[in-house]
């Protein structure tokens, strides 16, 4: 799966984790989603927010005074065709580190991009509220949030030692989030579907007659 208007280059899908702890479950689940995107031909990368040394978003007027890490994160996200956001649910919402990273970006990075969502929780209710938060944020950023999303409840017990999910159906569902992001990103960025649509429109006669 490659995009015809990108000189044969595959679409790029990046994951952003709302947890910077080593070996965290959020990043493991995002990695599974990215495997799904890779399986359908996408170029993938997991962005570690700890590598960017991000400051708190303080609404400053002069954004040029933000450290280089902010500009690097913006550039890395802007270069993607699709994005997978993952978060643990803290107090019924997304993690502070992810919210801060998103607040440091805008529709310049997310607008028109395909956005997939995965969440984890230590409790039985899963990350339903956090995913609802992210879906609202995604729409506010003018991203196309794909319909499928996955919440992993009891996440500490849900993972195998190799960081796969014990429940095969849940594992497949997470992979499908990544595959859906990659496929829709391809359709959105490729000349081929647009050309098919153009030819179809041109082939239709005037229903009102000459």
End-to-end CA distance of the chain: 41
Is the pLDDT higher at 184 or at 198? 184
Q: Which residues in 35-56 are b (16+ Cβ under 10 Å) and which e?
A: bbbbebebbbebbebeebebee
The tokens for 149 are 């999303």
> Average pLDDT in the 62-76 region?
93
As a whole number of angstroms, the distance between CA 50 and CA 53 comes to: 6
pTM score, two decimals? 0.87
- In this predicted structure, what is the pLDDT of residue 4? 41
Go through the domains of the chain in sequence order and give each one's CATH number.
9-203 (3.40.50.360)
91 exposure class (CB count in 10 Å sphere: 0-12, 13-18, 19+): exposed
The tokens for 33 are 């989603």
Q: Of how many residues is the chain composed?
A: 210
The tokens for 196 are 């098919």
In terms of DSSP H, where are the helices of the chain?
Answer: 25-39, 68-78, 96-103, 107-110, 128-140, 155-158, 168-189, 191-203
User: Edge-to-edge strand order for the sheet containing 82-88?
Assistant: 43-47, 12-17, 82-88, 114-120, 144-152
Is the pLDDT higher at 207 or at 200? 200
Under 8 Å between Cβ of 89 and 127 = yes
| pLDDT tens digits along 142-185 | 999 999 999 999 999 999 999 899 999 999 999 999 999 999 99
Backbone angles phi, psi at 121, to 5 degrees: -155, 145
pLDDT of 60 above 70: yes
pLDDT of 208 above 60: no
As a whole number of angstroms, the distance between CA 116 and CA 129 comes to: 16
> Average pLDDT in the 105-127 region?
96
Q: Find, among 96, 149, 91, 88, the residue nearest to 120 by Cα.
A: 88
As a whole number of angstroms, the distance between CA 143 and CA 113 comes to: 5
| pLDDT tens digits along 131-150 | 999 999 999 999 999 999 99
As a whole number of angstroms, the distance between CA 183 and CA 175 comes to: 12
């Amino acid at each position: 799966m490659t995009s015809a208007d990108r000189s044969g280059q595959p679409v790029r899908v990046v994951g952003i984790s709302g947890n910077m702890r080593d070996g965290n479950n959020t990043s493991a689940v995002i990695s599974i989603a990215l495997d799904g995107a890779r399986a359908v031909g996408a170029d993938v990368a997991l962005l570690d927010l700890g590598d960017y040394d991000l400051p708190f978003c303080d609404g400053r007027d002069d954004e040029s005074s933000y450290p280089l890490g902010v500009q690097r994160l913006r550039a890395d996200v802007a270069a993607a065709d699709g994005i997978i956001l993952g978060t643990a649910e803290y107090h019924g919402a997304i993690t502070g580190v992810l919210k801060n990273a998103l607040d440091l970006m805008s529709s310049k990075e997310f607008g028109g991009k395909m956005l997939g969502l995965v969440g984890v929780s230590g409790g039985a209710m899963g990350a339903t509220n956090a995913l609802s938060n992210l879906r609202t944020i995604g729409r506010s950023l003018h991203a196309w949030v794909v319909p499928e999303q996955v919440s992993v409840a009891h996440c500490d017990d849900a993972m195998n030692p190799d960081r796969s999910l014990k429940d095969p159906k849940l594992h497949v569902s997470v992979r499908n989030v990544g595959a859906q992001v990659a496929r829709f990103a391809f359709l959105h960025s490729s000349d081929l579907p647009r050309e098919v649509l153009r030819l179809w429109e041109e082939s239709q006669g005037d229903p009102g007659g000459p």
